[in-house]
Amino acid sequence: MNRPNSPAARPGLSPATAPLNQVRYLVGVDGGGTGTRVRLSERSGRILGQGESGPSALGQGVEQAWRHVQEALALAAVQAGLAPLDLSQVAIGLGLSGANLIEAVAEFHAQQPGYALVALDNDGFTSVLGAHGGRPGGVIAAGTGAVGEALRADGSRVCISGWGWISGDEGSGAWLGLKAMRHAQQALDGRAVPGALARAVWAVAGQERHTILAWCAKAGQHGYATLAPLVFEAAPDDGVARAFLAEAVAELESLARALDPSEQLPLALSGSIALRLREKFSGNMRARCVEPQGDSADGALLLVRSALNSEPGV
């Protein structure tokens, strides 16, 4: 079986376009739907500079992704005091949202502007690599949405949840917000007893049927996620809110067990919901939670370094 750090196991690894023994710089990219962060290092590993630009999620377009990666890299080079880089001397690793879109990945590689080597994976996996320094471990990300990814001890990879806020993402902010809104609607109908949580939702969306319907019609994932803090705030005085938080804990623990049935891998948490619920997790899961060693851009640097080192003759 191919291990995840081998070129054959990583469909986003492109053929080398220049002699890899001439590579002087490594670049790590964390790119999503709201922004792109780039970290530039010497081949030895010393960090030289960082830069940021607009979104580079592949689902938003390959041309945009490369444009923003290049803009962020240019800023990192300026911060490092370097002249514009000769891309034939640069190997780049990217953790991009949407890197599971096969056609977009192929187009992304076809449009690469001349890097000596391009290693591409999804931003969830580079988050795992960064959080655990390339060693086995898992990441549970629960903020607006929820997803878990892990690199297991046998070298296999797994992704759990992340199905989107309408049908999944249990334990996320949008999921909690949906539950809060349903409760507020039921309380307005007289199907539930109004408490602190229902009143807090009414304060946001109104206490009339037409205002609540109008709010829901335009809320979207982000809008529902803005209701999640109300659940935490109401919990001390509202049994319904406390029950919702207990359900969120159970969902995230279920996600963690699916990531690692042995319940032995270290876990890094990210996202506002996961971090706020950390102290409510069961003893075993709480004991396995560790502070991340690095972020997705660090993981992308590890990704490209692994790809570079695996090439023959380098």
Residues of the chain with CATH 3.30.420.40: 7-133+294-310, 173-288
The 10 Å Cβ neighbour count of residue 96 is: 30
User: How far is the C-alpha of 50 from the C-alpha of 41, rounded, in Å?
Assistant: 9
What the block records as the tokens of 235 is 């919990």
Average pLDDT over residues 240-256: 97
20-74 pLDDT per residue, tens? 888 999 999 999 888 999 999 999 999 999 999 999 999 889 999 999 999 999 9
Band of pLDDT at residue 10, cut at 50, 70 and 90: very low
Q: How distant, in Å, are the alpha carbons of 82, 96, 100, 116, 196 from that of 304?
A: 21, 13, 18, 11, 50
Q: For residue 33, which of 142, 112, 144, 128 has the smallest C-alpha distance?
A: 144
- Residue 83 gets the label, from left (phi > 0), alpha (psi -120 to 50) or beta, of beta
Cα 12-86-117 angle, rounded to 5 deg: 20
Q: Which CATH architecture has domain 173-288?
A: 2-Layer Sandwich (3.30)
Strands 25-31, 36-42: pairing kind: antiparallel
User: How far is the C-alpha of 179 from the C-alpha of 183, rounded, in Å?
Assistant: 6
Q: 159-190 as b/e, with b when 16 or more CB fall inside 10 Å?
A: ebbbeebeeebbbbbbbbbbbbbebbbebbee
User: Considering the entire predicted model, what is its pTM?
Assistant: 0.81
193-236 pLDDT per residue, tens? 999 999 999 999 999 999 999 999 999 988 999 999 999 999 99
Query: Domain 7-133+294-310 maps to which CATH number in 3.90.79.10, 3.40.50.970, 3.30.420.40, 3.40.50.720?
Result: 3.30.420.40
Q: For residue 231, which of 208, 248, 206, 255 has the smallest C-alpha distance?
A: 248
- Contact by Cβ (8 Å): 181, 216: yes
